[in-house]
A = this chain, B = another copy of it.
Amino acid sequence: MTPVPSGEDGAISERVQAVFDDIKATRKIERVPAIWRALAAYPELLEASWDRVKRIMADGSLDRKTKEMIALAVSITNGCSYCINSHTAALQRLGATRREVEELLAVVGLFNEMNRLADALQVEPDVRPEPWD
């Protein structure tokens, strides 16, 4: 929508450059991915979004690979092409096997179906999560 400098030249603001530098350092990549270059047209949104992605996607109680699988499941369910490509490639770089991706696709497909059947039959919840201690 709004082509912006790629981060290789000097025409971008210091604020944007700082985010681009952090992306390259954190992800250990040479080139800033297209989503961040597009967001650079909106510096405040760029900063806030990268800050959240960096923090939420770091290893935690769930590891990065599990988080990428969840991200891919969401992206497939929303039909977002850029995100599907990006998270599938990320999973491959993190060592996901062909069989793991096949099982992920099977689960995502299955519950896109089962969610609709539960809605279609107007099934009322018969089990509730437990409150946490």
Footprint of B on A, CB under 8 Å? 1-4, 33-35, 38-39, 41-42, 44-45, 48-49, 52-53, 56-57, 60-62, 66-67, 69-71, 73-86, 88-89, 92, 97-132
Contact = CB atoms under 8 A, between A and B. Distances in A.
Contacts of A67: 103, 107
B82 A120 contact: no
B66 A106 contact: no
Copy number in the complex reads 6
A57 B107 contact: yes
B71 A122 contact: no
B71 A74 contact: no
Contacts of A70: 69-70, 73, 104, 107-108, 111
29 contacts: A2-B131, A35-B118, A35-B121, A35-B123, A38-B121, A39-B117, A42-B98, A44-B106, A45-B102, A45-B105, A62-B69, A67-B107, A69-B69, A70-B70, A70-B107, A73-B73, A74-B115, A76-B120, A77-B78, A78-B112, A79-B79, A79-B80, A81-B122, A82-B125, A83-B115, A85-B129, A105-B120, A112-B116, A122-B125
